[in-house]
Amino acid sequence: MAARDKPALDYGAEIRKLRQDGPQRVYLLHGDEDYLRDSYIGELKKLCFDEGTEAFNSHRLQGPGLDMGALRESVEAMPFMGERTYTEVRDLDVNRTGNYDAEGLKAFLEDVPEWATVAFVFSPGYAPDSRLAVVKAMKKAGVDIDFASPGDRELRTWVIRRAESLGKHMDGATASYLIWVCGERMNGLIPEITKIAGYAKGDAITRSDIDAVAKKAPETTIFDLTNALGAGDYDKAARLLADLLADKDEPPPKQIAMIGEQFRRLYIASLAGSSGQGEAFITACIPELTGKSYPLRLLRQASKNFSQERLARAVSFCEACDFAMKDTGGEPEALMKELLVRLAMDRA
């Protein structure tokens, strides 16, 4: 599931624009979909280098402790046996302007040579702060791309083609279900599709194949947990909480935030249903669900199992748990179990 307020990326349009316009001098490449980001960088490099010249004209610098002198030297060096150089700066913490020469970087951006391309590349989860003058300067100087998740149709088509490359057929509904179960991150989907295709006995991948071997995304487990609470199946909710606590990739504070966010979504869907405003209201409040019919349908169905009052209290319970965990030093697992009890007991 995508992060809030990030519209779907039209990756094909970005690639067409790159090929039409050619390499630009400055790129700001960020967002959670690192598979598409790295694919884009690969296409950019192809356009920067003549055959056999990458080794001479490619440079890579690490953002932490960035030396402006080294950056200028790599970018201002004339191409050798080619027409263009490419410099990649990885994970510069542009949001902490006191940790590097922000004024020097702004001046540098105004004077990048015509033969040079410099790409500032950021890891998933990091968002350059567009309010900062240095970030505004980076965007003004070149191309800014937020590699958010592709649109529903594009991602579904990619999943189907990925399965076909492994000799398995998958229809659109099954692809949507796989994305729902495993999450939207393409680098996360690749090993899951490979594993499911290896497990599937027939020519086609089915939902039962997915259920048998796929690793659920934390967001999906949380959706199932809130669904179990809404259905009054508290044993199932307890088992799902145990699954969450066993997932060491996601720390409890983040899990609490995700549970609170899910209840917030359910509350929005409930409001939409009671006011007759429908999906347009939901996607206005939760933009990342725009065009995603499968999760939208599940969200609207799930919201009917709760009263709006109960959902509002659930959001408050999650906020209180988050506060206790971060500000009072409470034991995370005990607090999450206590939260589940409060959510289960509040049935009105």
Residue 241 has pLDDT above 90, yes or no: yes
5 in any annotated domain: no
Q: Do 308 and 188 sit in the same domain of this protein?
A: no
pLDDT in tens, 277-308: 888 999 999 988 887 888 999 999 999 999 99
| CATH number of the structural domain spanning residue 55 | 3.40.50.300
Domain check: are 141 and 24 in the same one?
yes
- Please tell me whether residues 176 and 93 are part of one structural domain: no
Domains: count for the chain: 3
CATH of the domain at 165: 1.10.8.60
Summarised one tens digit per residue, pLDDT across range 117-130 is 999 999 998 999 99
Is the domain of 142 the same as that of 86?
A: yes
Which residue in the block uniquely carries the two structure tokens 């932490």?
64
The last residue of one of the domains, among 129, 146, 163, is 146
Same-domain status, 312 and 244: yes
Residue 295 lies in a domain: yes
> Which domain covers residue 298, as residue numbers?
218-345
Quote the percentage of the chain above a pLDDT of 70: 97
Say whether pLDDT at 112 is over 90. Answer: yes
Tell me, yes or no, whether 223 and 338 share the same domain: yes
Could you tell me if residue 87 is inside a domain?
A: yes
User: What confidence score (pLDDT) does residue 2 get?
Assistant: 39
My answer on whether 41 and 157 are in the same domain is no
Whether 21 shows a pLDDT value over 90: the answer reads: yes
